[in-house]
Amino acid sequence: MKGSGLQDLQNARDERALPIDQVGVSGLRVPIVVLDRQRGRQETVAQITLSVNLPHHFKGTHMSRFIEVLNRHRGEVTMNTVPAILADLKACLAAESAMVEVAFPYFLEREAPVSKAKALMDYECRFVGEANGRRDDFILGVAVPVTSVCPCSKAISDYGAHNQRGRLEIQVRCRKRRSGGRDLVWIEELIEIAEASASAPVFAMLKRSDERHVTMQAYDHPVFVEDMVRNAAGALKNDPRISWFRILAVNQESIHNHNAFARLEWKRPGPGKGRRSDR
Amino acid sequence: MKGSGLQDLQNARDERALPIDQVGVSGLRVPIVVLDRQRGRQETVAQITLSVNLPHHFKGTHMSRFIEVLNRHRGEVTMNTVPAILADLKACLAAESAMVEVAFPYFLEREAPVSKAKALMDYECRFVGEANGRRDDFILGVAVPVTSVCPCSKAISDYGAHNQRGRLEIQVRCRKRRSGGRDLVWIEELIEIAEASASAPVFAMLKRSDERHVTMQAYDHPVFVEDMVRNAAGALKNDPRISWFRILAVNQESIHNHNAFARLEWKRPGPGKGRRSDR
Amino acid sequence: MKGSGLQDLQNARDERALPIDQVGVSGLRVPIVVLDRQRGRQETVAQITLSVNLPHHFKGTHMSRFIEVLNRHRGEVTMNTVPAILADLKACLAAESAMVEVAFPYFLEREAPVSKAKALMDYECRFVGEANGRRDDFILGVAVPVTSVCPCSKAISDYGAHNQRGRLEIQVRCRKRRSGGRDLVWIEELIEIAEASASAPVFAMLKRSDERHVTMQAYDHPVFVEDMVRNAAGALKNDPRISWFRILAVNQESIHNHNAFARLEWKRPGPGKGRRSDR
Amino acid sequence: MKGSGLQDLQNARDERALPIDQVGVSGLRVPIVVLDRQRGRQETVAQITLSVNLPHHFKGTHMSRFIEVLNRHRGEVTMNTVPAILADLKACLAAESAMVEVAFPYFLEREAPVSKAKALMDYECRFVGEANGRRDDFILGVAVPVTSVCPCSKAISDYGAHNQRGRLEIQVRCRKRRSGGRDLVWIEELIEIAEASASAPVFAMLKRSDERHVTMQAYDHPVFVEDMVRNAAGALKNDPRISWFRILAVNQESIHNHNAFARLEWKRPGPGKGRRSDR
């Protein structure tokens, strides 16, 4: 019977001399705990992708081990715990490199600008962690919904100005510390930068007095998608903790059925030749 | 060998005494031809769902026959040809009822309001056809992107007004003719009604003079989602060709991360008792 | 200045004589707590739609009040609390009817069949609650991923059989109690029915011994989509707590680029004439 | 009046010294014509993203010009015409670099293996073209649905084997010719490589004799996602027209609610130092 002493096909040799960059599982949905600046911890639900490299001489990887590793760590998936998850993946799967991608909604209680009424806002966040012999990486990303008023429409019209919901997505890589680990940037800080780069923030609840306030605030601060990425870039460059960033601004144009977008990537110039291991 | 004279399991009797309302295939993507008021015909790409009922005594339906029927008719999928497709489905699958759902982008060349520059706009359209012993139905649906300016924001603010891309989805059922067939309503007519119900239409290309025009036009015609469905409902009720409609307006609120919506369904009062077969 | 004593446009009279079936907000994402048969309570993240009707004489509804109501109740969104949320919506928005729709992932720790290794599985769940003068409704829905082996492919092939990930979606309405409230059906019970209706359950983690087990279990229990809906329907009809159900089975056919589906709706015959208020 | 001699804000100087990598429009849906090996030309519907770089001294780009350029070229969007579209974008927007991304379904009539019944299959395709002073790039991508039978499940089970719909996505860059232009690889050729790398192809229509055939063909050729990317990589490396490729295989695991995937990227070693302009 095949069943007794089940064959381990994945461990068989592969003769095609083709190493594979990434092998793993995607679309895992699990509850996780992340860091929360105000409350310490926040429970949310994540979509997770886990992968490792596969040396050319192995036929396959053992997919169930990804789930075992995730199970052991799912209590906490944060900048502080991702290195341990990556080390565990490398060890359990006999791999040289490992990668973890985590996407989750993050909730913040926000106060309306005039009424001070409180309500939760949700922000799509994302971690990407990577570890191998040569490099060790961690990227934090946040997508922030905002209001944008078009400067051109305002300038050329006698009254009014088209505006729309926009989305400002910021990804950052933080400086490594000599003592080990990386500088910490809070999700909340990136949200603040994104909102300050747009015409006005977006809220879950606005009473009439608030709606009046944000309508005029937005009209007083018109921005193109180009302005949004530049405003955010200026703020991020001035933060010494941040060594690299990518910004994407997308406007759901209210006068079109398509979107306008701008994208800007930047890397802090290094002291000497940029070694990849410095990421 | 099993292969010689392949068993037809689907034709086996089923003893559970459970008829099934719909059995079929979904997610089929095929090129189709639809009716175009200006040009006669338009080639586009559709997502199609085909289904029939399954009487309680059959174990299964023959899924490949749906594809055969679609192949025979794919040259034309219009209000005029859907009855023949439905009849073919009923015959080939030995069914009492059949249903076809078709979703496709429809393209119209639109002229910008001032510069008269031309560009194609895309509209999501949808047919739902149904036939069985008791009824024979056809619904036409169009989703039209529009601009909406918030009347409240305009009224309470000293200047400006939040606005956003909205979407007005109209579905109609047309009157059956005594002579057979149904009154024809063009996709283009529903687009006109939707656009007239909002603050301004949406265009693929606007030069600066056009952007100035639509900005002020929209500011001069603020509407809530409630107004959009009522405006469209008023126009549709006045059209004797239309016996039933459903309208859904959704605003991608530029000051929130959620949407506002309104929905309204209406049926023309019949001369006598509403027989379902009259649909 | 417009700002002093802000105008309440929504309260203005509307003269179009068109009542609106549903007005509200959609796409709200918030953390919620739901009932968990094992652990009492489970924290998860939901997408929520809230709406009320709008009498013909009002111009608009007050969208911010939906968020206020949700804020007051977000600690718990369960079959037990939905009636209070609906009552609150009707009161705060001066409406005759209210509706709440909640979609969320629900997590269950499942044991692999042989190794007994444990891992979380996620299931998409859904509540729809409705209240007005005439009726009071609550529907519970669960979408359960399953394995399905094709009986035809197995019957006609010398070896092997195509199989695929399927999805069995069950929605139920529970019997109202004379004492008030409704019979309770657990999400876990619907998951059990769905899995028993397919070829085999789906797990997050399977060791090799488990994979062997489910491969052969599935091959031993081939089902068409038609069988899946009938199997589930049989089990649901035998449960006196359930007064109505709708079942949708969808197979991501492994030999096609489209899906096969079956749908079945059923209502328990009433003792007398079916009054809508009895739902 | 603002309207006379409308201000051109986008042409204003920007003092933030921040060049922007990409500015443009996304989500444009238009009918296009692509090359078809059998029939010469194929009409389909595309989603298009157009962008240019923005030098640091300009405040904004002129979004309407993207639509004008697209309008001029929409008759044909192929490997042969993309260079002209890119040149036009650079000229009209006074930019140094331009990029065009085009995603579209491509249809092929396929014959079932035994019955020879014909039906259309759809494949998601993608072009990415880029041009600037330093480089000139064109990537062709195709995503091919396939059947995959799990070798492990087959090896350890007494009968049966779990299988599922998989998706093999291949992107290639073709060699530049000394005479200008690039070697041409047909979409059809990549589909053939993808299907030969899996357990069996996927068809729109299979009669019972065909279903028997593909069931046994797939069972006879079990593959892991790792095998699929290696099989495809082997074939692509042997084709001298191809200078770079990236392969992604994803299995919609029939025994899990998550996917398994593998990714492999490869670049043909150059004769000397790899100049970017040689891409």
The three-state (H, E, C) secondary structure of D138-206, written as one string: EEEEEEEEEEEECHHHHHHCCCCCCEEEEEEEEEEEECECCCCCECCCCHHHHHHHHHHHCCEECCCCC
Scanning every residue of chain B, which has its alpha carbon at the shortest distance from the alpha carbon of D213?
A: B3
* Domain extent listing, chain D: 18-101, 135-279
Helix or strand run (H / E) with residue D216:
helix D208-220
Residue B279's pLDDT band, with cuts at 50, 70 and 90, is very low
D64/B214 Cα distance (integer angstroms): 15
Asked if D121 is an interface residue toward chain C (Cβ–Cβ < 8 A), one would say: yes
Asked if C120 is an interface residue toward chain A (Cβ–Cβ < 8 A), one would say: yes
Least confident residue range of A184-188, B185-189, C59-63, C243-247:
C59-63
CA quadruple B211, B214, B217, B219: dihedral positive or negative?
negative
Structure tokens of C112?
């692999």
Residues of B in contact with C261 (CB under 8 A): 22-26, 51
CB contact under 8 A, C257 and D161: no
CB contact under 8 A, B212 and D118: no
Averaged over B36-57, what is the pLDDT? Answer: 93
**D175 CA to centre of own chain:** 16
pLDDT for A276 beyond 90 = no
What pLDDT is attached to residue B278? 40
CB contact under 8 A, C230 and B16: yes
Give the relative orientation of helices C82-92 and C63-73 as an angle to the nearest 10 degrees.
150
Q: What is the CATH number of domain C135-279?
A: 3.10.270.10
CB contact under 8 A, B3 and D212: yes
What pLDDT is attached to residue C51? 97
Residues of D in contact with C203 (CB under 8 A): 255-256
Report DSSP state, residue B171. Answer: E
Q: C278 to chain B nearest CA, in Å?
A: 23
Minimum-distance CB partner of D152 among C162, C163, C211: C211
Residues contacting A21, CB < 8 A, separation 6+: A53, D263, D264, D265
C267/B15 Cα distance (integer angstroms): 20
pLDDT for B127 beyond 50 = yes
Model pLDDT for residues B211-260, shown as the tens digit of each residue: 999 999 999 999 999 999 999 999 999 999 999 999 999 999 999 999 99
Asked if C24 is an interface residue toward chain B (Cβ–Cβ < 8 A), one would say: yes
Q: D37 to chain A nearest CA, in Å?
A: 31
Average pLDDT, chain C: 91
CB contact under 8 A, A29 and C122: yes
Asked if C254 is an interface residue toward chain A (Cβ–Cβ < 8 A), one would say: no
D176/A123 Cα distance (integer angstroms): 44
B252/B236 Cα distance (integer angstroms): 24
Residues of A in contact with C67 (CB under 8 A): 119, 204-205
Give the Å distances, CA to CA, from C138 to C81, C107, C194. Answer: 11, 22, 20
Model pLDDT for residues D217-274, shown as the tens digit of each residue: 999 999 999 999 999 999 999 999 999 999 999 999 999 999 999 999 999 997 644 4
Classify B105 as helix, strand or coil.
strand
- Paired with C164 in beta bridges are C148
The amino acid at C20? I
Q: Count other Cβ atoms within 10 Å, centred on residue C6.
A: 16
What pLDDT is attached to residue C277? 42
Averaged over D144-148, what is the pLDDT? Answer: 98
CB contact under 8 A, D204 and B31: no
CB contact under 8 A, B54 and C263: no
Residue with tokens 């070829």: C199
Asked if C64 is an interface residue toward chain A (Cβ–Cβ < 8 A), one would say: yes
Residue C83's pLDDT band, with cuts at 50, 70 and 90, is very high
Minimum-distance CB partner of C156 among D161, D164, D208: D208
The amino acid at C116? K
Residues of A in contact with C45 (CB under 8 A): 44-45, 105
E strands in chain A:
20-36, 40-54, 97-111, 118-132, 136-149, 163-174, 200-201, 242-251, 259-267
Classify A167 as helix, strand or coil.
strand
CB-CB contact of A133 with A216 (8 Å): no
Q: D209 to chain B nearest CA, in Å?
A: 7
Residues of B in contact with C258 (CB under 8 A): 25-29
Closest CA to C157 of D206, A6, D196: D206
Averaged over B29-38, what is the pLDDT? Answer: 94
CA quadruple C84, C89, C91, C95: dihedral positive or negative?
negative
Query: D215, D217, D250, D256: which to substitute to probe chain C, counting the most C Cβ within 10 Å?
Result: D215
CB contact under 8 A, C30 and A107: yes
Report DSSP state, residue C59. Answer: S
Q: B40 to chain D nearest CA, in Å?
A: 17
CB contact under 8 A, C265 and B21: yes
CB contact under 8 A, D159 and C255: no
H helices within B181-269, ranges in order? 187-197, 208-220, 225-237
CB contact under 8 A, C255 and D152: no
Structure tokens of C100?
């709440």
Asked if C132 is an interface residue toward chain B (Cβ–Cβ < 8 A), one would say: no
C161/C222 Cα distance (integer angstroms): 9
CB-CB contact of A7 with A60 (8 Å): no
Classify B1 as helix, strand or coil.
coil
pTM tops 0.80: yes
Asked if C152 is an interface residue toward chain D (Cβ–Cβ < 8 A), one would say: yes
Number of residues in chain D: 279
CB-CB contact of C126 with C138 (8 Å): no
CB contact under 8 A, B254 and A163: yes
What pLDDT is attached to residue A110? 96
CB contact under 8 A, C2 and A212: yes
Query: D29, D104, D202, D252: which to substitute to probe chain B, counting the most B Cβ within 10 Å?
Result: D29
Backbone angles phi, psi at A72, to 5 degrees: -65, -30
Query: A152, A162, A228, A259: which to substitute to probe chain D, counting the most D Cβ within 10 Å?
Result: A152
In this prediction, what percent of chain A has a pLDDT beyond 90? 79
Interface predicted TM-score (ipTM)? 0.91
